Amino acid sequence: MTAMRSETSQEAPDLLPLLRDALDRGDPVRLAEVLSGYRTQALLEHWYELDAEERERVLSTLPPEAGAELLSNLSAEEQPEVLQGLTPPQVAGVLEELSPDDLADTLQALEAYDREQSEEVRGLLDPGTLAVADALTGYDEEEAGGLMTPEFISVRATMTGAQVMAFLRRAAPDAETIYYLYVVDAEQRLKGVLSLRQLIVSDPEQRVQEMMNPDIVSIHTDTDQEEVARIMADYDLSVLPVLDGDDRLVGIVTVDDVLDVVTEEATEDIHRMGAAPIDIDYARASPWLLFRKRSSWLILLVVSMTLTFNVINHYEDLIVELAILAAFIPLLIGTGGNVGAQVATLVVRALGTRELELRDYFKVFWKELKTGLLLGLAFGAFMTGYVYFFQDEPLVAVALGITMVLISLCANLVGASLPFLFRRFGIDPALTSSPGITTVMDVVGLLIYFRVVIWVLEPLLTGQPATPLP
Amino acid sequence: MTAMRSETSQEAPDLLPLLRDALDRGDPVRLAEVLSGYRTQALLEHWYELDAEERERVLSTLPPEAGAELLSNLSAEEQPEVLQGLTPPQVAGVLEELSPDDLADTLQALEAYDREQSEEVRGLLDPGTLAVADALTGYDEEEAGGLMTPEFISVRATMTGAQVMAFLRRAAPDAETIYYLYVVDAEQRLKGVLSLRQLIVSDPEQRVQEMMNPDIVSIHTDTDQEEVARIMADYDLSVLPVLDGDDRLVGIVTVDDVLDVVTEEATEDIHRMGAAPIDIDYARASPWLLFRKRSSWLILLVVSMTLTFNVINHYEDLIVELAILAAFIPLLIGTGGNVGAQVATLVVRALGTRELELRDYFKVFWKELKTGLLLGLAFGAFMTGYVYFFQDEPLVAVALGITMVLISLCANLVGASLPFLFRRFGIDPALTSSPGITTVMDVVGLLIYFRVVIWVLEPLLTGQPATPLP
């Protein structure tokens, strides 16, 4: 492979037909040959087009390093499945090539799936590797402890540049990064950081303490991964040192792990906001799994929405007398839902990126009071004109216009307030969700509608007295 | 500053009261003293709590390096505003400290805002710095060319390790990263990459061509920034070389720039899915600006929703005869909207992260046909039971149950299909949006509802003949 590869590998023939051919022929040598010509990433792009048995055959054919790279890109649910087709020595060979943080995750997944295979594999792993991985197992996967690797390079403040350089040459192959060296004291407490860049431009006889930067941004093992990503982005850092409860340096988090976190967290937020808080790979999920995961939220919304039936049913006499009132229901409550979902989206995202904090609530409330009034007046004017055009009945037109103003204003305030309320009580603001806001505004919108209609149209309603409010 | 700083700077006293005090006293020496004790990031956290005049005073008090760091964290709209309070030499001093890509963006923003100040400042900048920045101005901000910096280090394949090391010591201070060295030929064509790690562990007499990795992942100046982020995450890379149309190396993109891109793109997707495709900082926007940006989408939705009025109006006779039918409208069409918004959320995100591609459409269609049928049957059974309980009228209960099955199924297929349709025609799938799907399903749901009611309830409807379908 001496050719330069551009981003889409357009120059190389497509992997899938070659792979399929080799798999169909059942020729392991040909399969190995095909696989050796492609990056792991190319293989991953077609991974889900292979069946379970084919995936096992591919993994057992790959050299251990490539197998490890492939494995580390699979989800914790899938890893043990695909390892089933390998012999324990093959599994151990692949696992030895994983970084300690990935190894810890994979071992946990394997143990939960097949305790026997897990025990056998553990017996074949290097005890040192195993100990490092096991030390990481105790941490929460969503916190810095679960993201970090213990493979950092630490040096002492009294070493000279030349000594550090000599040490680096030996330590480099095993470290996750050699571009930041951490200066610790005898108790493993972090005293400073020395970049390789600084080391290279400094006099080799200078001591670390004179070259290092003592002003360090660090995190703790229990720092939430979202916070880790935010600190890294805010301070433009590519590595963060992780301290334990006694402020001793125990690991580092690198930016490539955080890049995945940002994407995962965005997916989580997006799913929650669409009332689909589902932690599965969509492409892999079966209809039955999707039904089970999706229906819990939808059922909650359907049941809540029966309230709309009760409201309308309560005002049935009004509709019997003036059936045209029913025809405006979807337009009115739908607009309320859209206004509320739109503002909730803006506020949820601003809370998520820390552009807004809890203390900003009153500022947001005032802003959205004004914005909601502007939107309400615009839609109210439209509504009045529209109804007048279709009904030629000024009082109905006025009632509908007033309803639209009030619904828009109310939806705007509800949509802006609920995310703050959720955050206040420690619930993810994204769980307010567009469908959730829509459902709330359906009920609230109907109550506003009928109240305004009774108030404005009383002179028109002569047949029966209007039903009093509940 | 020798104290170690933890992520939240809890140990240091809060910056805001100190800053406010210094600003109120109007004492520039005290202000400089306060600012020198804090990182730029701490200042940015309170930035929007200062008024315009205070921001100008803070910026003109900061040393140029800190001012540049602050400036590069502000939006293109705000940069020229805050620079207004500085003299042209002060502006030039700050701008000289920006990296070339940031300088190019800021100069463009300044020129658009105040041509006169821009000309004066350009006259004061170093001509070399200016030329590098101007060369970057031609690129689209959302493509690799707009993200890249030309400050990479390139070496020749024939150099020895020791020669490269000596060259590095001189070049290090100006380069964006020294951890990846790019090997180019006389035509500036990329031949390989040499990591500083490899260089350090290799024999100093070895030549670059023997140490370098010839297998390079690269991008072009017109590669979209989302694609850049995806390649970096997929290949676990922290730097990507950027080539021009003639495959010459012209710059590098580093992962810290891409981290911001991922967050920005997620915000864009989230906003679009909430029908709030707004490219402004929410916290800074005035109610009037929010009204203008938000109303265009809402007006489109309101106008589309007048169709619901027309459908219901068309079937007015039906409602006059059986008013209870109106009471189920929000429950039925709301559920359709929720089902559709939920599945659209899953599909839009999976398309965005490339978990799904256009070619997966039929697979998704079949999957959602089954999932939609399961959801429909569950909600249909609930609806039939609910209506029977409230109405004690089996035929109405059956009609409503059938409607619910059909609406759920239809919403699921529409929600899963529209994002693919948008992608097919080169529109961002996120623009389908939850409110958009809800609006479509309001209209479609009503058409299904009345059609089913007429079909099932025909024996009950004796007063007037049911209105024929349009």
Domain with CATH 1.10.357.20 in chain B: 282-460
Angle (CA) B319-B321-B323 rounded to 5° is 50
Of B7, B282, B390, the CB nearest to A227: B7
Confidence of residue B253 (pLDDT cuts 50, 70, 90): very high
Cβ-based contacts of B2 with chain A (< 8 Å): 214-215
Establish if A6 touches chain B: CB-CB under 8 angstroms: yes
How far, in whole angstroms, is CA A2 from its chain's centroid? 38
Q: Is A367 at the interface with chain B, CB within 8 A? A: yes
Listed by number, the residues of chain A in 28-87 with a beta carbon closer than 8 Å to a beta carbon of chain B are 39, 41, 44
Chain A residues near residue B299 by CB distance under 8 angstroms: 378-379, 382
* A424, burial (CB in 10 Å: exposed 0-12, middle 13-18, buried 19+): exposed
* Chain A interface disruption, residue of B349, B391, B447, most A CBs within 10 A: B349
Looking at residue B156, its pLDDT comes to: 93
Give the model confidence (pLDDT) of A304-322 as tens digits.
888 998 899 898 888 888 8
Residue A345 to residue B276, Cβ atoms within 8 A? yes
CB atoms within 10 A of CB B150: 17
User: How far, in Å, are A222, A384, A389 from residue A138 at the CA level?
Assistant: 11, 63, 69
Question: Distance, in angstroms, between B57 CA and closest chain A CA?
Answer: 23
User: How many CA atoms within 13 Å lie on the side-chain side of A33?
Assistant: 9
Contacts of A386 in chain B (CB under 8 A): 306, 309
The interface residues of chain A toward chain B in range 406-435, judged by CB-CB distance below 8 A, are 434-435
Q: Which residues does residue A154 pair with via DSSP β-bridges, in sequence order? A: A182
Confidence band, pLDDT 50/70/90 cuts, at residue A210: very high
Q: A328-332, B90-94, B209-213: lowest mean pLDDT where?
A: B90-94
Interchain proximity B262–A266, CB inside 8 Å: yes
- Measured on CA atoms in the order A138, A142, A146, A152, is the torsion positive or negative? negative
**Cβ contacts of residue B469 below 8 Å, gap of 6+?**
B451, B454
d(CA B215, CA A323): 73
CATH class assigned to A282-460: mainly alpha
Residue range(s) occupied by CATH 3.10.580.10 in chain B: 154-263
Highest mean pLDDT among A25-29, A141-145, A334-338: A334-338
3-state secondary structure chain A: CCCCEECCCCCCCCHHHHHHHHHHHCCHHHHHHHHHCCCHHHHHHCHHHCCHHHHHHHHHHCCHHHHHHHHHCCCCCHHHHHHCCCCHHHHHHHHHCCCHHHHHHHHHHHHHHCHHHHHHHHHHCCHHHHHHHHHHHCCCCCEHHHHCECCCEEECCCCEHHHHHHHHHHHHHHCCCCCEEEEECCCCEEEEEEEHHHHHHCCCCCEHHHHCECCCEEEECCCEHHHHHHHHHHCCCCEEEEECCCCEEEEEEEHHHHHHHHHHHHHHHHHHHCCCCCCCCHHHCCHHHHHHHHHHHHHHHHHHHHHHHHHHHHCHHHHHHCCHHHHCHHHHHHHHHHHHHHHHHHHHHHHHCCCCCHHHHHHHHHHHHHHHHHHHHHHHHHHHHHHHHHHCCHHHHHHHHHHHHHHHHHHHHHHHHHHHHHHHCCCCHHHHCHHHHHHHHHHHHHHHHHHHHHHHHCCCCCCCCCCCCC
- The pLDDT value given to residue A462: 59
Q: Which of A99, A100, A64, A15 is nearest to A83 (CA)?
A: A64
All residues at 6 or more sequence positions from A301 whose CB lies less than 8 Å from its CB, including other chains: A275, A435, A436, A439, B334, B335, B338
CB contact under 8 A, A270 and B274: no
What is the pLDDT at residue A463? Answer: 54
Q: Does the distance separating the beta carbons of A295 and B390 come in below 8 Å?
A: no
Mean pLDDT across B154-163: 92
Q: Are A115 and A150 in contact (CB under 8 A)?
A: no
Query: Which residues in chain B are closer than 8 Å to A297, comparing Cβ atoms?
Result: 342
**A279 has pLDDT over 80:** no
The 3-state DSSP class for residue B464 equals: coil
Give the Å distances, CA to CA, from B85 to B22, B60, B114.
Answer: 18, 8, 12
Least CB-CB distance to B287: which of A4, A313, A367? A367
- pLDDT for A420 equals 95
Asked if A309 and B327 come within 8 Å (Cβ–Cβ), the reply is yes
Measuring CA to CA, how many Å separate B282 from each of A12, A331, A356, A414, B146? 45, 28, 8, 17, 24
| Residue to substitute from A170, A366, A371, interface B, most B β-carbons within 10 A | A371
Reference B58, options B78, B80, B77, B36; nearest CA is: B36
Q: What is the mean pLDDT of residues B232-250?
A: 89
The pLDDT of B309-329, averaged and rounded, is: 88
**Taking CB atoms and an 8 Å cutoff, what residues of chain B touch A312?**
326-327, 329-330
Tell me the CA distances in angstroms from B122 to B79, B116, B214, one per residue in order: 16, 10, 41
CB B175 within 8 A of CB B152: yes
Best of A40, A165, A200, A290 to disrupt the B interface by mutation (most B CBs within 10 Å)?
A290
A304 to chain B, any CB pair closer than 8 A? The answer is no
In this prediction, residue B137 carries a pLDDT of: 81
User: Closest approach of chain B CAs to the CA of A395, in angstroms?
Assistant: 18
| H helices, E strands: number in chain B | 23, 7
Q: Tokens 């964006």 label which residue?
A: B176
User: What confidence category does residue B3 fall into, taking pLDDT thresholds of 50, 70 and 90?
Assistant: very low
Three-state DSSP class for residue B4:
coil
Mutation target among B1, B2, B4 for the A interface, most CBs of A within 10 A: B4
Percent of chain A with pLDDT over 90: 32
| Comma-separated ranges of CATH 1.25.60.10 domains in chain A | 9-139
Name the average pLDDT for chain B: 85
Contacts of A34 (CB under 8 A, 6+ apart): A15, A18, A19, A21, A22
The answer to whether B242 touches B222, Cβ cutoff 8 Å, is no
Residue B369, pLDDT > 60, answer: yes
CB contact under 8 A, B215 and A274: no
- Nearest-neighbour CA in chain A from B353: distance (Å): 8
The tokens describing B223, both together, are 């590669």
The pLDDT of residue A32 = 85
Closest-CA residue to B329 (of B340, B319, B317): B319
Residues in B 222-281 with any Cβ partner in A closer than 8 A: 223, 227, 229, 231-238, 255-256, 258-260, 262-263, 266-267, 269-271, 273-276, 278, 281
- What's the whole-number average pLDDT of chain A? 85
Topology of domain A9-139, CATH: MgtE N-terminal fold (1.25.60)
User: How do A153-155 and A217-220 pair as beta strands?
Assistant: unpaired
Kind and range of the H or E element at B293?
helix B287-314
ipTM of the complex: 0.75
Q: What are phi and psi of A132, to 5 degrees?
A: -60, -45
Q: What is the pLDDT of residue B184?
A: 93
Q: Work out the percent of chain B whose per-residue pLDDT is above 70.
A: 95
Best to test chain A binding among B342, B364, B448 (most A CBs inside 10 Å): B342
Tell me, what's the pLDDT at B51? 81
Cα distance between residue A394 and residue A385, in whole Å = 10
Phi, psi of B146 (to 5 degrees): -80, -20
Say which range, A155-164, A334-343, B67-76, B275-284, has the weakest mean pLDDT: B275-284
- Find the length of chain B: 470
CA–CA separation, B337 and A302 (whole Å): 11
By the 8 A CB rule, do B212 and B192 touch?
A: yes
pLDDT of residue B12: 58
Nearest to A368 by CA among A400, A325, A330, A415: A415
Domain B154-263 = CATH 3.10.580.10: yes
Inter-CA distances, A186 with A156, A158, A167, Å = 8, 12, 18
Tokens of A324: 């045209």
How close, in Å, is residue B236 to chain A by CA atoms? 6
Residues in chain A, total: 470
In percent, the amount of chain B with pLDDT more than 90 equals 32
DSSP secondary structure letter of residue B13: P
Residue-wise pLDDT tens digits, A49-105: 788 788 888 888 888 888 888 888 887 778 888 888 888 888 888 888 888 888 888
Q: In what order do the strands lie in the sheet with B217-220?
A: A5-6, B217-220, B239-243, B249-254
What does the alpha-carbon distance between residue B202 and residue B162 come to, in Å, rounded to a whole number?
Answer: 10
A165 touching chain B per CB within 8 A: yes
Q: Is the pLDDT of residue B354 over 70?
A: yes
Confidence at B448, pLDDT banded by 50, 70, 90: very high
- CB proximity A168 to B under 8 Å: yes
The predicted model scores a pTM of 0.75
Average pLDDT over residues A436-463: 87
